[in-house]
A and B are shown apart, each in its own frame.
Chain A
């Protein structure tokens, strides 16, 4: 719990950072544990959010992909999904509640065209969100995306798919998430249960980094807190134990 003085100071700084009211509003996760960690009580629409995959293959980032699809599924208007690789499988996205009629796909040759398409699409208020699969994203490009999103209220998601192992450059995204698959809980009978993720909020403007154990998106794109350690954010030690 933060003391009230600091909270009010933070609100003041936020107001300085963004003078105008956010046109888009909020998209809560519907999980109090997550929403309370975000300064505005939910994922801000009209801002750039960065999502990366953890684990052995950050380039393929399947968990991060489904996490992003879950966010898009809980929005209402059409969304634009820009990719440079042809490995996205729409039936998988539909399992997080993202109906194919709502998704406009753009298959583009490189990161540059993805950024170009994202910025153009972010100016269009008819879309709910624009997602771009990006290998590299720098400060300038992310700042431009963030500004375009702020102006129109369209949410921008950058799904990071790094090709190399180099540390990602800092960006101007409002939040930065990392989603890593964890071994799921054993079922009483042979089979495979709902996937478990370690969801890390690595960076958050006006908030603090946090980590949760969650269950993967359901058919409506909603997360749930993992029953393994219910209702509480984890420290590093607890993650290792899990």
Chain B
């Protein structure tokens, strides 16, 4: 029996499932190699381990697939599409034919990689639409069920989606509906990641399955201590950690945390992991737990502070930043640094919260507001051309009479950023209305040359 064919053989009409004798009769010169499922599985695991370079979470999906969880890792490759393109190109260079798909659920990605377009990317929530046109064989069902579904006229997943669920379950058992729900994200399907052997990890088995939150918390604290001992022995600090709880039924619950600076402080890690434990569903009980440091960097041994040091070291904000980032989201915390740009909206850039101090601030003499509207709010203004401040302006249906004003501060467009800005000019005015409120207004254009702007007025910010 033929189990697998390469591209050249497929082009000559050979297909898996064909008896070997028939294939050899069709093409007498056929090169035949004995199938070795065990070696295949091993090679698949090795390939999955190679995929760990894309994301800390990858798992073989036998017999012929690999799942890679790229949540939060796609931006490292420049986005989802470049990531898929790079992955398939690299595999092709290595002589491996691969099809890739990216979706919100493992089931959907599995189906599209095999039956959808090459390098398909499903937007969040687009799973039903992406699955509808695919054949029911894409649902990871045994061939008998697929044949039975086909006999009853269920050719596509869409037909299955439209059918009432109860009769389907009666006729075909729970499998098709479970696979359908998994593919649509209605039922969870955790993937169990492989951990490369060199990974720093701590494992804890339980003689009796544990399920209470207190037990899980205790186990986590023990794991953190053991992992930190190992990290210390290797001179490493962890910045990404996976906490994996293996349930008695073979499924796994996985929680991930990240730290802003490499750490091997067990108490700190335990504090970060504690809130994640509440989200874990122990099912019928947890059999063993693993804490793995999936991303580590070198961290030298801490030097005890000298009692003679006169200056106090800067307070270590890393524990606070980790706690906030893991509870509220990683990209919500940042610092700002000045950027040399005259356009106010481009004059700052985000830095990671623990980046070394930039040491520079914005040029002091230029007046800058404390609140900036982005995009600038259009207003109606009455002003003398070319360079007088407005006498009055209307914003949000209220007319403000200008009592005092300063300006203009002329800001030129940055042609090196966008060619359309080559000639544009903004004239900024700081104005105070009759109540003392201060506004930052600008006019597009210098008031003389129409190429510099259309003379529309905007409110860009508020001064104190």
Contact = CB atoms under 8 A, between A and B. Distances in A.
Count chain B CB atoms within 10 A of each CB in A104, A113, A186, A191 and give the residue with the most: A104
What 10 pairs across the A-B complex have the smallest Cβ distances?
Answer: A126-B315, A66-B464, A92-B370, A89-B372, A101-B357, A181-B436, A91-B368, A62-B462, A91-B362, A192-B406
A106 to B, nearest CB: 5
Count chain A CB atoms within 10 A of each CB in B362, B370, B371, B463 and give the residue with the most: B370
Interface in A71-106: 77-78, 86-95, 99-101, 103-106
A121 interface: yes
Interface in A192-219: 192-193, 195-197, 216-217, 219
A105 to B, nearest CB: 5
Contacts of A192: 404-406, 430-432, 438
Interface of B: 315-317, 319-321, 323-324, 327-328, 332-338, 344, 347-348, 353, 357-359, 361-362, 364, 367-374, 398, 403-406, 430-432, 434-438, 461-464
Interface string A5-16: 000000000000
23 contacts: A56-B435, A62-B370, A62-B371, A62-B438, A62-B463, A66-B464, A87-B371, A87-B372, A87-B374, A90-B348, A91-B348, A92-B464, A95-B368, A103-B336, A104-B335, A106-B333, A108-B328, A124-B320, A127-B317, A181-B435, A183-B403, A192-B431, A219-B364
A182 interface: yes
A181 B437 contact: yes
Contacts of A190: 404-406
A91 B404 contact: no
Given A91-B347, A104-B333, A184-B432, A121 B324 contact: yes
A62 to B, nearest CB: 4
Nearest to B350: A105
Contacts of B338: 91, 100
A77 B313 CA distance: 11
Contacts of B403: 183
A100 to B, nearest CB: 5
Contacts of A60: 371, 462
Sort chain A's interface into a size bin. 35 or more
Nearest to A102: B357
Contacts of B333: 104-106
A229 interface: no
A216 B336 CA distance: 24
A69 interface: yes
B287 to A, nearest CB: 34
A33 interface: no
B147 to A, nearest CB: 50
A92 B369 contact: yes
A161 B316 CA distance: 31
B324 to A, nearest CB: 6
Contact of A78 (B317, B358, B405, B432): B317
B400 to A, nearest CB: 9
Nearest to B404: A192
Nearest to B367: A95
Nearest to A92: B370
A183 B328 CA distance: 41
A89 B436 contact: no
Nearest to A187: B404
Nearest to B354: A104
Nearest to A180: B436
Contacts of B464: 62-63, 65-67, 92, 181, 195, 197, 216-217
Contacts of B334: 104-105, 107
B435 A121 contact: no
Contacts of A69: 370
A113 B328 contact: yes
A195 B353 CA distance: 33
Nearest to B347: A91
Nearest to B373: A87
A190 B387 CA distance: 14
A126 B324 contact: no
A191 B367 CA distance: 12
A184 B404 CA distance: 9
B348 to A, nearest CB: 6
